[in-house]
Structure 1
Amino acid sequence: MARPPLPIGTWGDVRTQVVKTDDDGNAISHRAQAKFRDHDGQVRLVSAFGRTPTAAKNKLLIKLKDRAKTGQGGEPTAMHKINHLLDLWVAKFKEQIADGTRSPTSMDTYLRAIKNHVRPALGELRIGEANTPRVDTVISNIKKNAGPPTAKTCRAVISGMMQLAVRYGAITVNPVREVESIEHPAKKPARAIQAEEITLLRKHLRADEAAVRADLPDLVTFMLGTGVRIGEALAVLWSQIDLDTGTVDITHTIVRIKGEGLIRKPAKSKASNRQVGLPNWLLATLRTRAAAGIRLDDPIFTDTTGGYRDPNNVRRSLRTALAPVGNKTRRNLGQALRATRRQAGLTREQVANTLNWPKNRIELIETGRIKVDRTMATTLLWTYSPTPQATEALLTQADEAAAPIPTDTLTWITSHAFRKTVATALDSAGQTPRNAANQLGHSRISMTQDHYYDRKAPNPEATNAIQQAFEDPDLI
């Protein structure tokens, strides 16, 4: 029976022999040799030299490993480490980004997952060693330690790289295929901003000087009038607005790429590239902005230098505008408590340790970011020991600051809530899911239906239909 051939990229037994001796006949040079089956299928003899048999053998092994790693065109084999496969997968993904078929923001997400989780867990394994049980254990550990969303991202990366290994013939089956699916509690149901909340929100933003400086009132109006993503809103140029026909072309989005900064890139999918109509109240806002003077190649919403705005900074400005810190009474109370603490000669850390509170609670109180009721204020003032008159004044101020204010109902709102509000409004108006998906730039209507419609609103038509169906007295 014929001996089976060496697998491609592997070698046979290593043999050593003396190739040089000194005048006394002592060996001073050794050669180590092994047969290596190259990536073209040919078996070749590979040699290395050293002063001792061990040195020659070690040099040969390094040489053989490098030969297996580089191979013909760098194609991976079952003997390659997964680190090598990951590098190849990342390179392929970057090519897809250059072709416009993948998003650079996805690359940032995947690179974080690779650095923090995939490489530490699998990088030093051989591709052929990454079987289903091992991969399943790794993904389960990531889910336990980092959470289901991170585990899903890591699973996508591992599946992609192992699929690449299958295409190159390094393995025959993707081991991720049989890995247990990742289950986690469903996301919170979609919530639309109600009409009275929208009115309160717009009034609050117009009255907040910091929100006005951040240009939030008009930006929020634009997003409520179109349902576009925040990055899409910040990427719209004046040349894409037609004030006569009342339309805007959505073609790009603003993203921040590590190492590149802010870029204006094409929309994430074909469905995202769309034309959206503008309601009259939004047209009025845009005409007012245009009357102040524009350049067609400028964004509608610019930063202080006239360039593109960072979506993350805009989200932060919105959070700040809607957080309790916007309440002047709470902020003033926090400043008064800070002054009282300093008069007592205490640091935040000392107070937190004395009261056995979390380290950052004093900071949150003094910046007005959490409510301080009379009980909490009494505890603090007992620690600070101010005069009785100062204590009574601060407790009165705490009572005023603890009283609820209308804008407390707005703290849940994020930039994405505007899209869900638009989707729900279209659904309530009888628009088809396809029309709503087109407005939002979704490829699949299931995305719109499952994640953007607020289902809590009562449906009078459904009630009437049930009433008519079961109004026969004999059925009651």
Structure 2
Amino acid sequence: MPRTPLPIGTWGEISTRTLKPTKNSKPAKHLAHARFRDHDGKVRAVTATGKTKTAARTALLTKLQNRAKTNYSGDLSTNHKVNHLLDLWERRFEGLVADETRSPTSLTTYRRALKNHLRPAIGELHIGEATTQRLDTVLTNIKHHAGAPTARTCRAVISGAMKLAVRYGAITTNPAREADAIEAKPKNPPRALTTEEVTLLNRSLAADEHAVDADLPDLVTFMLGSGVRIGEALAVLWRQIDLDAGTVEITHTIARPPGEGLIRKTTKSRTGERTLSLPNWATAMLRGRHTTGPRPDASVFPNTTGGHRDPSNTRRSLRTALSPVGSTARRELGRTLRGLRRQTHLSRKQVAQTLGWPQTRIELIETGRIKPNHRLISSLTKTYGIALDDGPGLAAQLEEAMQPAESDKLTWIRSHALRKTTATALDQAGHTARQIADQLGQAKVSITQDTYIGRQPANPTAAQALEHAFDDPDLA
């Protein structure tokens, strides 16, 4: 009867022997040996050495385990650990990114979910132990501690991994599929800038020296006139602009995947590749920028050295600019607080760490870009060893700085609000949801309708339509 072959990816019995005896007959080195059946079906010898038998066996086991993991391409079983399954799923997703069918930013998001949540919670379970009940408990805990969006991301990852386990025969059904949906409070309805807010925004950016230095006024104009994402706007080259026709080709976006640096990559999907017509005021802005005669392959919105700008840094500059310098009273309060901080020899970073705040919040307060309140300033002065109510001067400054200012109308705006403003303007002009989705480069019309188009007031023509539909109905 023939010997039963080794299962693929496994090894036989490990044997050891002495290699080089010394002059006093004490062994100098040991060799461990085993037969390993590779994933092409061939059996090969694998060896490792060590100063002792135990060291040699340990080294060989490590080599065999790594070989089984590296060459893994086939069957899974319920006894494999979930970490092994997640490794396989991650490698497959890396291949999709390499084929440009998935975004590297999506891979970054999923890796963060794997590292911070899924591997610590279920990585050491065997695949067969990852039941729906266990996954449900884990996802609920993630939602409680990290929020519903993170829990949804983790659910997508583990569902994809378990789907892979089903395909490879480790399990028969996907346990993540039956887990409870991640419920959360309904999002606020999409909010777009009004005409008055757009005017105020443009005026505020033009008057802000730091915003002008960061080249934000023209960038915001371009985004409002096209509805593109901030990464897409930063990826546009001059050869993609046709000033005579008033069009722009959107084909790429700027991203910074970990370990790769800043890259210009193709858009997230084929829907993202589009040619857009620009309004005359956006074309006029671009024509004004083109007077310097830039190279065709140069970026339309470059950084200070002429290269591509980092979207994260640009968003940060935009957030600062959209918290505009407030009233004179706020600037005076900010200068007072900056002086108190310097008297205590504390840096902004040290104060932020003490309070658990972002460092930018200290900067915004000291430059008068945040509407202050008693609790906020009291926490800050307490760090400096000062009670807010001890001195009437500081308390009076705060009361005056708390008064409303015109710039408060802009503090809610973020870069994505510009896309929503473009979408809402097109909706009000009578464009269909499909046309607006094509303008924004979105594949699903439902996302455009639910997330980007601002809700309109009650339809004034509804009463007239119902009047004609039910002319003097007899409801008695």
Aligned twin of 2:74: 75
User: 1:39, 1:132 → 2: CA distance?
Assistant: 32
Deviation (angstroms), 1:419 = 1.1
Question: Which segment is superposed worse, 175-184 or 275-284?
Answer: 175-184
Instruction: Report the structure number with the largest CA radius of gyration.
Output: 1
User: 2:9, 2:357 → 1: CA distance?
Assistant: 57
Aligned twin of 1:441: 441
Question: Counterpart amino acid of 1:231?
Answer: G
Q: Does 1:275 align with 2:260?
A: no
Question: Counterpart amino acid of 1:314?
Answer: T
Q: Does 1:319 align with 2:301?
A: no
Aligned twin of 2:295: 295
Aligned twin of 2:116: 116
Aligned twin of 2:415: 415
Number of residue pairs matched? 451
Residue 261 of structure 1: SS of its match in structure 2? coil
Question: Counterpart amino acid of 2:188?
Answer: K
**RMSD over aligned Cα, in angstroms?**
4.3
Deviation (angstroms), 1:136 = 2.3
1:59–1:201 Cα change, 3 Å: closer
Q: Is the 2:227–2:423 contact (alpha carbons within 8 Å) kept by the matching residues of 1?
A: yes
Aligned twin of 2:180: 180
Question: Which segment is superposed worse, 145-154 or 68-77?
Answer: 68-77
1:326–1:383 Cα change, 3 Å: closer
Residue 265 of structure 1: SS of its match in structure 2? strand
User: 1:376, 1:171 → 2: CA distance?
Assistant: 54
Deviation (angstroms), 1:116 = 0.7
Aligned twin of 1:21: none
User: 2:396, 2:280 → 1: CA distance?
Assistant: 47
Deviation (angstroms), 1:398 = 4.2
Question: Which segment is superposed worse, 121-130 or 283-292?
Answer: 121-130
User: 2:144, 2:305 → 1: CA distance?
Assistant: 45
Q: Does 1:456 align with 2:423?
A: no
Deviations 1:284-340 (A, max 9, x none): 111111113221111111111111111111111111112155545412222124436
Q: Does 1:203 align with 2:203?
A: yes
Deviations 1:159-196 (A, max 9, x none): 22222222222333222122222111222110111111
Question: Counterpart amino acid of 2:76?
Answer: T
Which consecutive unaligned segments of at least 5 residues does structure 2 have?
Answer: 16-31
Deviation (angstroms), 1:341 = 7.2
Q: Is the 2:10–2:68 contact (alpha carbons within 8 Å) kept by the matching residues of 1?
A: no
User: 2:395, 2:81 → 1: CA distance?
Assistant: 66
Q: Does 1:227 align with 2:227?
A: yes
Residue 271 of structure 1: SS of its match in structure 2? helix
Question: Counterpart amino acid of 1:204?
Answer: S
Deviations 1:98-142 (A, max 9, x none): 111010001111111111111111222222332322222222222
Deviations 1:364-384 (A, max 9, x none): 754535434699989978658
Q: Does 1:66 align with 2:65?
A: yes
Deviation (angstroms), 1:207 = 0.8
User: 1:104, 1:15 → 2: CA distance?
Assistant: 42
Question: Counterpart amino acid of 1:287?
Answer: R
Q: Does 1:152 align with 2:152?
A: yes
Q: Is the 1:190–1:454 contact (alpha carbons within 8 Å) kept by the matching residues of 2?
A: yes
Q: Is the 1:69–1:76 contact (alpha carbons within 8 Å) kept by the matching residues of 2?
A: no
Question: Counterpart amino acid of 1:66?
Answer: Q
Deviation (angstroms), 1:465 = 2.1
Deviation (angstroms), 1:66 = 3.1
Deviation (angstroms), 1:239 = 0.5
User: 2:428, 2:95 → 1: CA distance?
Assistant: 43
TM-score (norm 1): 0.79
User: 1:15, 1:439 → 2: CA distance?
Assistant: 64
Q: Does 1:164 align with 2:173?
A: no
User: 1:315, 1:223 → 2: CA distance?
Assistant: 13
Q: Does 1:139 align with 2:139?
A: yes
Question: Which segment is superposed worse, 207-216 or 74-83?
Answer: 74-83
Question: Which segment is superposed worse, 248-257 or 365-374?
Answer: 365-374
Aligned twin of 2:194: 194
Q: Is the 1:117–1:142 contact (alpha carbons within 8 Å) kept by the matching residues of 2?
A: yes
Question: Counterpart amino acid of 1:428?
Answer: Q
Identity of aligned residues (%): 57
Deviations 1:427-458 (A, max 9, x none): 11111111111111111111111111111334
User: 2:71, 2:376 → 1: CA distance?
Assistant: 71
1:227–1:340 Cα change, 3 Å: closer
Question: Counterpart amino acid of 1:218?
Answer: D
Question: Counterpart amino acid of 1:161?
Answer: A
